[in-house]
Amino acid sequence: MNVTKGLIIDDPWIGYILDGSKTWEMRSRTWGHRGWIGLIRKGTGAVWAVARLVDVGAPLSEEEMIASFDKHRIPPDMIRSGAVAKWTTPWKLADVRKLSSPVPYRHKSGAVTQVDLDAETSDGIARQLADRSVDIGKPQPASTAAAGNWVSKSNAPVQPAPAPKKVFPANVAPPKFHNGGGRLIGECEVTDGALKNSYIRLTKLMDKFPRDAIGGSNDSTTARRELIVDWGGPELVRTDLDGQKKFFRRRGWVGDFYKLNRAKAGDKVRIEEAAAYRYCISLVR
């Protein structure tokens, strides 16, 4: 399979596609292309997954947009506010398949949302797909789909294959600050201690998180609810908050977040609420 087209998608929307909770990518116009495309995480300079663009629907009314939340994941209040008034055309995706390692691509001048992938990028994608010994040009049975890390058309997420420890290409440019369109929670300063010990200090923001997601100081006193954190990496993180230390209890991803963004002391971590119990993390310089 030769994937020659790519679609640039911002966070948190690409995160929803990768975890299987979103099957429609909302756009301002139609696109005649059908078939396999690469999914590019905006700001990373790399293709993170492939999917089939199976259809492009007619523009939706505000009421239709709200009724289709489970497909596009845009919150109703965001729709009513007019913030996404232009983006009402559903591009319908199926058979989303994450790559084990993002593949860099060359962004041609003038490209904004859809891009032509160069031969080197297409070959890199093909090699990863070939390594799994799955013919993505043919429908896959349920057992094969799960083994190959597919997301089914029914929108039910499957168990992802383990990701390698090093998932970021060395030559990928650091992600830029993005605005996921959610409610701003606040910003936290990056310190030398935070970089060394892999934490994000949330002291001034704790009262802005749900109370039932704040636990005690150890694993025996975790909160009743978990937060979902989209930090720009290959997998979403589920964690509660340590109410005593004032940071995310699970911190293994924080060091990778700092490395991916080439963070340094004095930068700020921006936290946005994309939906209930779901947050998008980005870096501001």
Share of residues in the chain with pLDDT > 70 (%): 80
Same CATH fold, 183-284 and 5-151?
no
Residue 131's pLDDT is: 65
In the predicted model, what is the mean pLDDT of residues 42-59? 92
In the predicted model, what is the mean pLDDT of residues 232-258? 90
CATH tag, 183-284: 2.40.330.10
Name the residue ranges covered by the structural domains of the chain.
5-151, 183-284
**pLDDT above 70: residue 64:** yes
Residue 283 burial class via C-beta count within 10 angstroms: exposed 0-12, middle 13-18, buried 19 and up: buried
- Tell me the fold of 5-151: 2.30.130
The 10 Å Cβ neighbour count of residue 150 is: 23
**pLDDT above 60: residue 163:** no
Q: What is the pLDDT of residues 190-203, one digit of tens each?
A: 999 999 999 999 99
Residues 133, 198: Cα–Cα separation, whole Å? 37
Between 145-154, 229-238, 264-273, the lowest mean confidence (pLDDT) is in 145-154
In the predicted model, what is the mean pLDDT of residues 153-157? 40
Closest by Cα among 279, 45, 10, 15 to 169: 45
Model confidence band, residue 111 (pLDDT cutoffs 50, 70, 90) = low
DSSP SS3 for 218: coil
Residues 190, 258: Cα–Cα separation, whole Å? 9
Residue 150's pLDDT is: 39
Residues 107, 174: Cα–Cα separation, whole Å? 14
**pLDDT above 90: residue 58:** yes
Name the more confident of 210 and 156: 210
Mention every residue, 6+ apart, whose C-beta is less than 8 A from residue 230. Answer: 11, 12, 15, 180, 236, 237, 274, 278, 279, 280, 281
Can you list the pairs that 238-244 forms with residues at least 24 positions away whose Cβ atoms lie under 8 Å? 240/213, 240/214, 240/215, 241/202, 241/206, 241/209, 241/213, 241/214, 241/215, 242/215, 242/216, 242/217, 243/206, 243/214, 243/215, 243/216, 243/217, 244/216, 244/217
In the predicted model, what is the mean pLDDT of residues 158-174? 39
Between 56-70, 109-123, 153-167, 181-195, the lowest mean confidence (pLDDT) is in 153-167
Model confidence band, residue 132 (pLDDT cutoffs 50, 70, 90) = low
Residue 154's pLDDT is: 38
Mention every residue, 6+ apart, whose C-beta is less than 8 A from residue 196. Answer: none
Name the more confident of 170 and 230: 230
In the predicted model, what is the mean pLDDT of residues 114-119? 90
